[in-house]
Amino acid sequence: MDRVISNTALSPTSLVVLCVVIAIAVTWLRSSNSNQPPRLQDKIPYITNTIQYLTDAGRFIDRVKEKLEKANSDIVRFNVGFIPAYVVRGPDNVRKLFNSPNTLDGNFLQLLLMDKHWGMHHHEIAKFANDKTGRGKAPAPGTETVPESERYWLGHDRLYVNYLANRQNSDALADVFHRTFLQQLNSLSEEWSTINLFETLKTLMATSAITSLFGTRIFDLNPDLINVYWQFDDIAGHLVWGLPKFLQRRSVATKDRLHSMTLKYVNSAWENFDWDSSESESPWDPHFGSRLCRETAKWFRENNFSNHAAAGHAVGALFGLNGNTIPITTWIMMHAIQDPVLFEALRKEALSVYEDDPLTGERHVNTQKLINLPLMQSVYVEAMRVHVSFNVTRQASQPLAIGGYAIEKGALVQACSKIAHFEESTWGVEGHPASEFWAWRHIKSVASVDSATGKAVHQDQFAMKGRPSSFFPYGAGYVMCPGRFFAKQEILLAVAILVANFDIEFEQWIKEDGSDSDRPAQDDGRYAAFIAMHPDREMVIRCRRSKDIAKRG
Protein backbone atom coordinates (compact mmCIF):
# COMPACT_ATOMS: atom_id res chain seq x y z
CA MET A 1 0.00 0.00 0.00
CA ASP A 2 2.80 2.41 0.85
CA ARG A 3 4.33 1.74 -2.55
CA VAL A 4 1.02 2.51 -4.28
CA ILE A 5 0.71 5.76 -2.38
CA SER A 6 4.30 6.61 -3.20
CA ASN A 7 3.76 5.96 -6.91
CA THR A 8 0.58 8.05 -7.08
CA ALA A 9 1.78 10.97 -4.91
CA LEU A 10 2.37 14.25 -6.72
CA SER A 11 5.68 16.04 -6.51
CA PRO A 12 5.56 19.65 -5.24
CA THR A 13 6.17 20.91 -8.79
CA SER A 14 3.38 18.74 -10.22
CA LEU A 15 1.04 19.91 -7.49
CA VAL A 16 1.72 23.57 -8.33
CA VAL A 17 1.14 22.89 -12.04
CA LEU A 18 -2.12 21.06 -11.27
CA CYS A 19 -3.34 23.96 -9.12
CA VAL A 20 -2.55 26.44 -11.88
CA VAL A 21 -4.38 24.32 -14.47
CA ILE A 22 -7.43 24.00 -12.21
CA ALA A 23 -7.44 27.75 -11.51
CA ILE A 24 -7.24 28.54 -15.23
CA ALA A 25 -10.04 26.09 -15.99
CA VAL A 26 -12.30 27.50 -13.27
CA THR A 27 -11.63 31.07 -14.39
CA TRP A 28 -12.29 30.16 -18.03
CA LEU A 29 -15.53 28.36 -17.23
CA ARG A 30 -16.70 31.27 -15.10
CA SER A 31 -15.91 33.86 -17.77
CA SER A 32 -17.39 31.80 -20.62
CA ASN A 33 -20.80 31.79 -18.98
CA SER A 34 -21.23 35.55 -18.72
CA ASN A 35 -21.40 38.56 -20.98
CA GLN A 36 -17.80 39.61 -21.51
CA PRO A 37 -16.25 42.58 -23.31
CA PRO A 38 -13.48 42.18 -25.91
CA ARG A 39 -10.43 40.48 -24.42
CA LEU A 40 -6.84 41.61 -24.91
CA GLN A 41 -4.84 38.87 -26.59
CA ASP A 42 -2.65 36.90 -24.17
CA LYS A 43 -0.16 34.61 -25.96
CA ILE A 44 0.41 32.62 -22.78
CA PRO A 45 -2.86 32.93 -20.81
CA TYR A 46 -2.53 34.81 -17.51
CA ILE A 47 1.22 35.26 -18.00
CA THR A 48 2.13 37.34 -21.07
CA ASN A 49 -0.17 40.28 -20.34
CA THR A 50 0.69 40.18 -16.66
CA ILE A 51 4.42 40.45 -17.27
CA GLN A 52 4.01 43.31 -19.75
CA TYR A 53 1.53 45.08 -17.45
CA LEU A 54 4.04 44.92 -14.60
CA THR A 55 7.22 45.72 -16.53
CA ASP A 56 6.30 47.73 -19.66
CA ALA A 57 3.13 49.68 -18.89
CA GLY A 58 3.67 52.13 -21.74
CA ARG A 59 3.54 49.46 -24.44
CA PHE A 60 0.73 47.67 -22.59
CA ILE A 61 -1.45 50.82 -22.67
CA ASP A 62 -0.71 51.21 -26.39
CA ARG A 63 -1.98 47.65 -26.96
CA VAL A 64 -5.13 48.35 -24.94
CA LYS A 65 -5.80 51.49 -26.98
CA GLU A 66 -5.31 49.57 -30.23
CA LYS A 67 -7.74 46.88 -29.03
CA LEU A 68 -10.39 49.43 -28.04
CA GLU A 69 -10.17 51.05 -31.47
CA LYS A 70 -10.14 47.78 -33.42
CA ALA A 71 -13.08 46.32 -31.47
CA ASN A 72 -14.96 49.65 -31.51
CA SER A 73 -15.51 49.16 -27.79
CA ASP A 74 -15.31 51.35 -24.69
CA ILE A 75 -14.13 48.53 -22.45
CA VAL A 76 -11.53 45.79 -22.76
CA ARG A 77 -10.77 42.88 -20.45
CA PHE A 78 -7.49 41.23 -19.46
CA ASN A 79 -5.99 39.54 -16.42
CA VAL A 80 -3.29 40.54 -13.98
CA GLY A 81 -2.34 37.05 -12.88
CA PHE A 82 -5.67 35.51 -11.96
CA ILE A 83 -7.25 38.88 -11.13
CA PRO A 84 -9.69 40.04 -13.83
CA ALA A 85 -9.06 43.61 -14.95
CA TYR A 86 -10.78 46.10 -17.24
CA VAL A 87 -9.82 49.36 -18.90
CA VAL A 88 -12.76 51.66 -19.65
CA ARG A 89 -13.11 54.82 -21.70
CA GLY A 90 -15.93 57.19 -22.62
CA PRO A 91 -17.50 59.86 -20.36
CA ASP A 92 -20.28 57.69 -18.91
CA ASN A 93 -18.02 54.75 -18.06
CA VAL A 94 -15.30 56.96 -16.62
CA ARG A 95 -17.77 58.93 -14.51
CA LYS A 96 -19.11 55.67 -13.08
CA LEU A 97 -15.56 54.62 -12.24
CA PHE A 98 -14.91 57.92 -10.46
CA ASN A 99 -18.22 58.32 -8.66
CA SER A 100 -19.13 54.87 -7.30
CA PRO A 101 -17.27 54.61 -3.98
CA ASN A 102 -19.76 52.06 -2.61
CA THR A 103 -19.00 49.56 -5.39
CA LEU A 104 -15.56 50.61 -6.67
CA ASP A 105 -12.96 50.95 -3.93
CA GLY A 106 -10.06 53.36 -4.36
CA ASN A 107 -8.56 52.79 -0.93
CA PHE A 108 -6.87 49.54 -1.94
CA LEU A 109 -4.24 51.44 -3.95
CA GLN A 110 -3.37 53.62 -0.98
CA LEU A 111 -3.06 50.50 1.16
CA LEU A 112 -0.70 49.14 -1.48
CA LEU A 113 1.37 52.34 -1.30
CA MET A 114 1.51 52.08 2.49
CA ASP A 115 3.14 48.69 2.03
CA LYS A 116 5.31 49.18 -1.07
CA HIS A 117 6.35 52.85 -0.67
CA TRP A 118 5.81 53.82 2.95
CA GLY A 119 7.05 50.51 4.34
CA MET A 120 4.49 50.63 7.16
CA HIS A 121 4.20 47.72 9.55
CA HIS A 122 1.26 45.45 8.72
CA HIS A 123 -0.52 46.07 12.02
CA GLU A 124 -0.45 49.81 11.26
CA ILE A 125 -1.76 49.33 7.72
CA ALA A 126 -4.55 47.24 9.25
CA LYS A 127 -5.88 50.31 11.07
CA PHE A 128 -6.69 51.88 7.71
CA ALA A 129 -7.75 48.60 6.09
CA ASN A 130 -10.26 47.88 8.86
CA ASP A 131 -11.74 51.38 8.78
CA LYS A 132 -14.94 50.99 6.74
CA THR A 133 -16.49 54.30 7.83
CA GLY A 134 -15.50 56.16 4.67
CA ARG A 135 -14.04 59.60 4.20
CA GLY A 136 -17.20 61.68 4.55
CA LYS A 137 -18.16 63.71 7.60
CA ALA A 138 -20.95 61.21 8.33
CA PRO A 139 -19.78 57.60 8.69
CA ALA A 140 -20.95 55.03 6.17
CA PRO A 141 -24.22 53.24 7.02
CA GLY A 142 -23.68 50.49 9.55
CA THR A 143 -20.53 52.08 11.00
CA GLU A 144 -22.12 54.86 13.05
CA THR A 145 -20.86 53.39 16.33
CA VAL A 146 -17.18 53.56 15.34
CA PRO A 147 -15.50 56.22 17.51
CA GLU A 148 -14.08 59.31 15.80
CA SER A 149 -10.59 58.32 16.92
CA GLU A 150 -10.76 55.19 14.74
CA ARG A 151 -11.86 56.99 11.58
CA TYR A 152 -8.35 56.98 10.11
CA TRP A 153 -9.24 57.81 6.50
CA LEU A 154 -11.21 60.88 7.55
CA GLY A 155 -8.55 62.02 10.01
CA HIS A 156 -5.81 61.68 7.42
CA ASP A 157 -7.82 63.54 4.77
CA ARG A 158 -8.56 66.38 7.18
CA LEU A 159 -4.85 67.11 7.47
CA TYR A 160 -4.71 68.04 3.80
CA VAL A 161 -7.97 69.98 3.89
CA ASN A 162 -6.88 72.03 6.89
CA TYR A 163 -3.18 72.49 6.20
CA LEU A 164 -2.69 72.27 2.42
CA ALA A 165 -5.92 73.14 0.60
CA ASN A 166 -6.33 76.01 3.07
CA ARG A 167 -5.39 79.25 1.25
CA GLN A 168 -3.22 80.64 4.07
CA ASN A 169 -1.09 77.50 4.38
CA SER A 170 -0.88 76.95 0.62
CA ASP A 171 0.30 80.53 0.10
CA ALA A 172 2.90 80.08 2.85
CA LEU A 173 4.30 77.03 1.05
CA ALA A 174 4.39 78.92 -2.24
CA ASP A 175 6.18 81.84 -0.57
CA VAL A 176 8.94 79.60 0.83
CA PHE A 177 9.29 77.87 -2.54
CA HIS A 178 9.47 81.23 -4.33
CA ARG A 179 12.20 82.62 -2.07
CA THR A 180 14.22 79.40 -2.02
CA PHE A 181 14.04 78.91 -5.78
CA LEU A 182 15.33 82.44 -6.36
CA GLN A 183 18.21 81.72 -3.97
CA GLN A 184 18.97 78.45 -5.77
CA LEU A 185 19.02 80.22 -9.14
CA ASN A 186 21.76 82.49 -7.83
CA SER A 187 24.09 79.54 -8.35
CA LEU A 188 23.73 80.05 -12.11
CA SER A 189 26.06 82.41 -13.91
CA GLU A 190 25.00 85.99 -14.64
CA GLU A 191 26.55 85.67 -18.11
CA TRP A 192 25.99 83.15 -20.89
CA SER A 193 26.63 79.61 -19.68
CA THR A 194 25.68 76.12 -20.84
CA ILE A 195 23.60 73.82 -18.63
CA ASN A 196 21.45 70.70 -18.89
CA LEU A 197 17.87 71.85 -18.31
CA PHE A 198 16.27 68.79 -16.68
CA GLU A 199 19.34 67.95 -14.60
CA THR A 200 19.45 71.52 -13.28
CA LEU A 201 15.75 71.65 -12.40
CA LYS A 202 15.92 68.24 -10.71
CA THR A 203 18.37 69.79 -8.25
CA LEU A 204 17.19 73.40 -7.88
CA MET A 205 13.43 72.79 -7.93
CA ALA A 206 13.60 69.69 -5.72
CA THR A 207 15.71 71.55 -3.15
CA SER A 208 13.22 74.44 -3.14
CA ALA A 209 10.13 72.23 -2.95
CA ILE A 210 11.53 69.99 -0.21
CA THR A 211 12.57 73.05 1.79
CA SER A 212 9.04 74.45 1.54
CA LEU A 213 7.40 71.23 2.72
CA PHE A 214 10.00 69.60 4.99
CA GLY A 215 12.23 72.46 6.18
CA THR A 216 15.99 72.86 6.03
CA ARG A 217 17.09 70.46 8.76
CA ILE A 218 16.33 67.44 6.56
CA PHE A 219 19.22 68.47 4.27
CA ASP A 220 21.62 68.90 7.20
CA LEU A 221 20.83 65.34 8.27
CA ASN A 222 20.92 63.90 4.74
CA PRO A 223 23.34 65.71 2.38
CA ASP A 224 22.66 63.15 -0.37
CA LEU A 225 18.86 63.41 -0.14
CA ILE A 226 18.26 64.82 -3.64
CA ASN A 227 20.33 62.12 -5.33
CA VAL A 228 18.67 59.29 -3.40
CA TYR A 229 15.22 60.73 -4.04
CA TRP A 230 15.72 60.65 -7.83
CA GLN A 231 16.98 57.07 -7.60
CA PHE A 232 13.71 56.24 -5.85
CA ASP A 233 11.67 58.22 -8.39
CA ASP A 234 13.10 56.03 -11.15
CA ILE A 235 11.76 52.82 -9.62
CA ALA A 236 8.68 54.01 -7.68
CA GLY A 237 6.09 52.85 -10.21
CA HIS A 238 7.60 49.40 -10.70
CA LEU A 239 7.94 49.00 -6.94
CA VAL A 240 4.16 49.25 -6.57
CA TRP A 241 2.90 47.42 -9.66
CA GLY A 242 5.98 45.47 -10.64
CA LEU A 243 7.48 42.13 -9.81
CA PRO A 244 7.63 40.67 -6.26
CA LYS A 245 10.06 42.24 -3.81
CA PHE A 246 12.54 39.37 -3.97
CA LEU A 247 12.96 40.11 -7.69
CA GLN A 248 13.46 43.83 -7.02
CA ARG A 249 16.07 43.77 -4.28
CA ARG A 250 17.92 46.82 -5.60
CA SER A 251 14.70 48.85 -5.83
CA VAL A 252 13.68 47.83 -2.31
CA ALA A 253 17.15 48.83 -1.06
CA THR A 254 16.75 52.26 -2.66
CA LYS A 255 13.37 52.73 -1.00
CA ASP A 256 14.80 51.63 2.34
CA ARG A 257 17.67 54.10 2.03
CA LEU A 258 15.27 56.98 1.38
CA HIS A 259 13.10 55.81 4.28
CA SER A 260 16.10 55.85 6.62
CA MET A 261 16.67 59.49 5.63
CA THR A 262 13.09 60.54 6.34
CA LEU A 263 13.22 58.63 9.64
CA LYS A 264 16.23 60.73 10.67
CA TYR A 265 14.19 63.82 9.80
CA VAL A 266 11.15 62.72 11.83
CA ASN A 267 13.20 61.70 14.88
CA SER A 268 15.23 64.92 14.82
CA ALA A 269 12.15 67.10 14.45
CA TRP A 270 10.50 65.51 17.48
CA GLU A 271 13.69 65.90 19.50
CA ASN A 272 14.34 69.54 18.63
CA PHE A 273 11.02 71.26 17.97
CA ASP A 274 9.61 73.31 20.85
CA TRP A 275 5.88 72.61 20.94
CA ASP A 276 5.39 75.24 23.64
CA SER A 277 6.80 78.07 21.54
CA SER A 278 4.99 80.36 19.13
CA GLU A 279 6.36 78.20 16.30
CA SER A 280 3.74 75.56 17.11
CA GLU A 281 1.19 77.69 15.25
CA SER A 282 3.53 79.07 12.58
CA PRO A 283 3.11 78.14 8.90
CA TRP A 284 6.74 76.96 8.62
CA ASP A 285 9.72 75.98 10.78
CA PRO A 286 13.16 74.55 9.92
CA HIS A 287 12.62 71.22 11.74
CA PHE A 288 9.29 69.88 10.47
CA GLY A 289 8.99 72.37 7.64
CA SER A 290 5.39 73.17 6.72
CA ARG A 291 2.58 73.12 9.21
CA LEU A 292 1.15 70.22 7.20
CA CYS A 293 4.17 68.06 8.03
CA ARG A 294 4.14 69.17 11.66
CA GLU A 295 0.45 68.39 12.14
CA THR A 296 0.81 65.11 10.23
CA ALA A 297 3.58 63.95 12.56
CA LYS A 298 1.43 64.97 15.52
CA TRP A 299 -1.61 63.10 14.14
CA PHE A 300 0.41 59.93 13.60
CA ARG A 301 1.72 60.01 17.16
CA GLU A 302 -1.67 60.81 18.72
CA ASN A 303 -3.17 57.85 16.85
CA ASN A 304 -0.45 55.46 18.06
CA PHE A 305 1.46 55.13 14.82
CA SER A 306 5.24 54.79 15.00
CA ASN A 307 7.85 57.25 13.77
CA HIS A 308 8.63 54.52 11.24
CA ALA A 309 5.13 55.00 9.81
CA ALA A 310 5.45 58.79 9.83
CA ALA A 311 8.76 58.48 7.98
CA GLY A 312 7.10 56.25 5.39
CA HIS A 313 4.40 58.85 4.94
CA ALA A 314 7.18 61.38 4.29
CA VAL A 315 8.58 59.13 1.54
CA GLY A 316 5.17 59.17 -0.12
CA ALA A 317 4.94 62.94 0.28
CA LEU A 318 8.37 63.41 -1.32
CA PHE A 319 7.21 61.44 -4.35
CA GLY A 320 3.94 63.37 -4.52
CA LEU A 321 5.84 66.64 -4.18
CA ASN A 322 8.37 66.11 -6.97
CA GLY A 323 7.14 63.29 -9.21
CA ASN A 324 4.83 65.48 -11.31
CA THR A 325 5.98 69.05 -10.78
CA ILE A 326 9.58 68.89 -11.96
CA PRO A 327 9.06 66.82 -15.13
CA ILE A 328 6.05 68.98 -16.07
CA THR A 329 7.97 72.22 -15.48
CA THR A 330 10.76 70.81 -17.63
CA TRP A 331 8.34 69.92 -20.42
CA ILE A 332 6.78 73.40 -20.38
CA MET A 333 10.21 75.00 -20.60
CA MET A 334 11.29 72.61 -23.37
CA HIS A 335 8.23 73.52 -25.43
CA ALA A 336 8.71 77.24 -24.78
CA ILE A 337 12.44 77.26 -25.55
CA GLN A 338 11.73 75.63 -28.93
CA ASP A 339 8.99 78.20 -29.68
CA PRO A 340 10.19 81.84 -29.31
CA VAL A 341 6.62 83.15 -29.75
CA LEU A 342 5.42 81.04 -26.82
CA PHE A 343 8.45 81.97 -24.70
CA GLU A 344 7.84 85.71 -25.18
CA ALA A 345 4.10 85.35 -24.54
CA LEU A 346 4.79 83.55 -21.27
CA ARG A 347 7.37 86.19 -20.32
CA LYS A 348 4.86 88.97 -20.99
CA GLU A 349 2.27 87.29 -18.77
CA ALA A 350 4.80 86.59 -16.02
CA LEU A 351 6.01 90.19 -15.91
CA SER A 352 2.41 91.40 -15.63
CA VAL A 353 2.10 89.85 -12.15
CA TYR A 354 5.39 91.08 -10.67
CA GLU A 355 4.75 93.51 -7.82
CA ASP A 356 6.78 95.57 -5.36
CA ASP A 357 7.01 94.19 -1.84
CA PRO A 358 5.83 97.05 0.43
CA LEU A 359 8.31 96.06 3.15
CA THR A 360 11.48 95.27 1.19
CA GLY A 361 10.85 97.05 -2.09
CA GLU A 362 11.86 93.89 -3.96
CA ARG A 363 9.93 92.64 -6.95
CA HIS A 364 8.07 89.37 -6.49
CA VAL A 365 5.40 87.32 -8.23
CA ASN A 366 1.80 87.65 -7.06
CA THR A 367 1.03 83.94 -6.95
CA GLN A 368 -2.75 84.24 -6.94
CA LYS A 369 -2.72 86.44 -10.03
CA LEU A 370 -0.18 84.14 -11.69
CA ILE A 371 -2.25 80.97 -11.39
CA ASN A 372 -5.21 82.73 -13.03
CA LEU A 373 -3.38 84.00 -16.12
CA PRO A 374 -4.93 82.50 -19.28
CA LEU A 375 -1.81 81.35 -21.14
CA MET A 376 -0.08 80.12 -17.98
CA GLN A 377 -3.14 78.02 -17.12
CA SER A 378 -3.46 76.75 -20.68
CA VAL A 379 0.16 75.68 -20.97
CA TYR A 380 -0.05 74.01 -17.54
CA VAL A 381 -3.16 71.99 -18.45
CA GLU A 382 -1.75 71.11 -21.87
CA ALA A 383 1.52 69.82 -20.40
CA MET A 384 -0.41 67.75 -17.86
CA ARG A 385 -2.69 66.44 -20.61
CA VAL A 386 0.11 65.37 -22.92
CA HIS A 387 2.86 64.27 -20.55
CA VAL A 388 1.15 62.68 -17.52
CA SER A 389 0.46 58.96 -17.73
CA PHE A 390 -1.73 57.90 -14.83
CA ASN A 391 -4.14 55.00 -14.46
CA VAL A 392 -7.03 55.73 -12.10
CA THR A 393 -7.62 52.32 -10.53
CA ARG A 394 -10.50 50.98 -8.48
CA GLN A 395 -11.32 47.49 -7.22
CA ALA A 396 -14.88 46.18 -7.40
CA SER A 397 -16.10 45.59 -3.85
CA GLN A 398 -19.25 43.92 -5.18
CA PRO A 399 -20.58 42.87 -8.60
CA LEU A 400 -21.65 45.74 -10.86
CA ALA A 401 -22.19 46.63 -14.51
CA ILE A 402 -20.21 49.11 -16.61
CA GLY A 403 -20.97 49.80 -20.24
CA GLY A 404 -23.48 46.96 -20.31
CA TYR A 405 -20.97 44.37 -19.12
CA ALA A 406 -20.90 42.48 -15.83
CA ILE A 407 -17.90 43.25 -13.62
CA GLU A 408 -17.18 40.64 -10.96
CA LYS A 409 -16.29 41.35 -7.34
CA GLY A 410 -12.54 41.75 -6.86
CA ALA A 411 -11.86 42.90 -10.43
CA LEU A 412 -9.62 45.88 -11.14
CA VAL A 413 -11.18 48.67 -13.21
CA GLN A 414 -8.99 51.39 -14.70
CA ALA A 415 -9.20 54.55 -16.77
CA CYS A 416 -5.95 55.55 -18.50
CA SER A 417 -5.03 59.20 -18.95
CA LYS A 418 -2.95 58.24 -22.00
CA ILE A 419 -6.21 57.17 -23.63
CA ALA A 420 -8.67 59.77 -22.31
CA HIS A 421 -6.27 62.70 -22.72
CA PHE A 422 -5.84 62.00 -26.44
CA GLU A 423 -9.43 61.51 -27.57
CA GLU A 424 -9.70 63.55 -30.77
CA SER A 425 -13.42 64.28 -30.33
CA THR A 426 -12.72 65.87 -26.96
CA TRP A 427 -9.40 67.63 -27.41
CA GLY A 428 -8.87 68.10 -31.14
CA VAL A 429 -8.81 71.60 -32.65
CA GLU A 430 -8.61 72.31 -36.38
CA GLY A 431 -4.94 72.30 -37.30
CA HIS A 432 -3.94 71.01 -33.86
CA PRO A 433 -4.80 67.33 -33.32
CA ALA A 434 -5.07 65.93 -29.82
CA SER A 435 -1.86 63.99 -30.36
CA GLU A 436 0.29 67.14 -30.26
CA PHE A 437 1.14 69.76 -27.65
CA TRP A 438 -0.45 73.14 -28.43
CA ALA A 439 -0.04 75.82 -25.78
CA TRP A 440 -3.17 77.80 -26.76
CA ARG A 441 -5.57 74.83 -26.82
CA HIS A 442 -7.41 75.98 -23.68
CA ILE A 443 -7.83 79.67 -24.49
CA LYS A 444 -10.83 81.39 -26.01
CA SER A 445 -11.12 84.98 -27.17
CA VAL A 446 -14.03 86.83 -25.58
CA ALA A 447 -15.40 89.99 -27.18
CA SER A 448 -16.50 92.94 -25.07
CA VAL A 449 -16.94 96.69 -25.38
CA ASP A 450 -14.41 99.05 -23.81
CA SER A 451 -16.41 101.34 -21.53
CA ALA A 452 -14.01 104.25 -22.08
CA THR A 453 -13.76 104.14 -25.88
CA GLY A 454 -16.88 102.26 -26.87
CA LYS A 455 -14.78 100.08 -29.15
CA ALA A 456 -14.95 96.31 -29.37
CA VAL A 457 -12.03 94.55 -27.69
CA HIS A 458 -11.05 90.90 -27.48
CA GLN A 459 -9.63 89.36 -24.34
CA ASP A 460 -8.10 85.92 -23.86
CA GLN A 461 -9.73 83.73 -21.24
CA PHE A 462 -8.78 80.30 -19.98
CA ALA A 463 -11.35 77.64 -20.90
CA MET A 464 -10.29 74.02 -20.53
CA LYS A 465 -11.16 72.12 -23.67
CA GLY A 466 -12.14 68.85 -22.00
CA ARG A 467 -14.40 67.67 -19.20
CA PRO A 468 -13.37 66.27 -15.79
CA SER A 469 -14.17 62.76 -17.05
CA SER A 470 -11.62 63.32 -19.83
CA PHE A 471 -8.86 64.92 -17.74
CA PHE A 472 -7.52 63.29 -14.60
CA PRO A 473 -3.74 63.73 -14.19
CA TYR A 474 -4.13 63.81 -10.39
CA GLY A 475 -6.67 61.01 -10.09
CA ALA A 476 -10.39 61.60 -9.65
CA GLY A 477 -13.41 61.17 -7.44
CA TYR A 478 -12.81 60.83 -3.72
CA VAL A 479 -9.21 59.67 -4.23
CA MET A 480 -7.28 62.58 -5.72
CA CYS A 481 -3.82 63.98 -5.12
CA PRO A 482 -4.30 66.36 -2.15
CA GLY A 483 -1.30 68.45 -3.20
CA ARG A 484 -2.60 69.35 -6.66
CA PHE A 485 -3.25 73.01 -5.80
CA PHE A 486 0.25 73.57 -4.46
CA ALA A 487 1.67 71.62 -7.41
CA LYS A 488 0.06 74.08 -9.81
CA GLN A 489 1.48 77.01 -7.84
CA GLU A 490 4.95 75.48 -7.81
CA ILE A 491 4.99 74.67 -11.53
CA LEU A 492 3.76 78.09 -12.62
CA LEU A 493 6.02 79.93 -10.17
CA ALA A 494 9.03 78.09 -11.54
CA VAL A 495 8.04 78.80 -15.15
CA ALA A 496 7.30 82.47 -14.43
CA ILE A 497 10.59 83.01 -12.60
CA LEU A 498 12.59 81.30 -15.35
CA VAL A 499 11.05 83.12 -18.32
CA ALA A 500 11.09 86.49 -16.55
CA ASN A 501 14.64 86.32 -15.26
CA PHE A 502 16.59 84.46 -17.95
CA ASP A 503 17.35 84.69 -21.63
CA ILE A 504 17.51 81.11 -22.89
CA GLU A 505 18.70 79.60 -26.16
CA PHE A 506 18.44 76.00 -27.32
CA GLU A 507 21.78 74.32 -28.01
CA GLN A 508 21.22 70.59 -28.57
CA TRP A 509 19.54 67.35 -27.51
CA ILE A 510 21.61 64.65 -25.83
CA LYS A 511 20.95 61.08 -24.69
CA GLU A 512 21.12 59.83 -21.12
CA ASP A 513 24.77 58.86 -21.59
CA GLY A 514 25.67 62.36 -22.82
CA SER A 515 26.03 61.46 -26.49
CA ASP A 516 24.37 63.54 -29.22
CA SER A 517 20.76 62.77 -30.12
CA ASP A 518 19.30 63.11 -33.61
CA ARG A 519 15.78 63.74 -32.30
CA PRO A 520 14.01 65.82 -29.63
CA ALA A 521 12.81 64.47 -26.30
CA GLN A 522 9.83 62.14 -26.15
CA ASP A 523 7.92 60.72 -23.19
CA ASP A 524 9.94 58.04 -21.43
CA GLY A 525 7.65 55.01 -21.30
CA ARG A 526 9.37 53.69 -18.17
CA TYR A 527 7.22 56.11 -16.14
CA ALA A 528 3.91 55.21 -17.82
CA ALA A 529 0.75 54.53 -15.81
CA PHE A 530 1.94 56.11 -12.59
CA ILE A 531 3.21 59.68 -12.89
CA ALA A 532 4.37 62.47 -15.20
CA MET A 533 6.67 60.95 -17.78
CA HIS A 534 10.23 62.20 -17.87
CA PRO A 535 11.71 63.43 -21.16
CA ASP A 536 13.90 60.68 -22.61
CA ARG A 537 16.39 63.24 -23.92
CA GLU A 538 18.15 66.08 -22.13
CA MET A 539 17.96 69.61 -23.51
CA VAL A 540 21.26 71.47 -23.42
CA ILE A 541 20.69 75.23 -23.25
CA ARG A 542 22.63 78.47 -23.07
CA CYS A 543 21.25 80.93 -20.57
CA ARG A 544 22.06 84.22 -18.90
CA ARG A 545 20.26 86.35 -16.40
CA SER A 546 18.11 88.99 -18.07
CA LYS A 547 19.32 92.41 -17.07
CA ASP A 548 16.91 93.45 -14.33
CA ILE A 549 13.95 92.29 -16.42
CA ALA A 550 11.88 91.24 -13.42
CA LYS A 551 12.89 94.30 -11.43
CA ARG A 552 11.42 96.91 -13.74
CA GLY A 553 8.37 98.73 -12.52
Which residues make up each annotated binding site? 481
DSSP letter, residue 283: S
Alpha helices in 45-102 (DSSP H): 48-55, 57-71, 91-98
DSSP letter, residue 468: G
- CA–CA distance, 319 with 430 (Å, rounded to integer): 37
- CA–CA distance, 234 with 275 (Å, rounded to integer): 37
- CA–CA distance, 299 with 388 (Å, rounded to integer): 32
Name the nearest CA neighbour of 353 among 498, 500, 490. Answer: 500
Q: Is 348 helix (H, G, I), strand (E, B) or coil?
A: helix
Pair 320, 390: CB distance under 8 Å:
no
- CA–CA distance, 229 with 506 (Å, rounded to integer): 28
For 20, list phi and psi in degrees, rounded to 5: -65, -45
Instruction: Please give the annotated binding residues for heme, written as ranges.
Output: 481
What angle, 0 to 180 degrees and rounded to 10, lies between the N-to-C axes of helices 484-501 and 167-185? 30
Distances (CA, A) of 111 to 73, 114, 153, 251, 321: 32, 5, 11, 19, 19
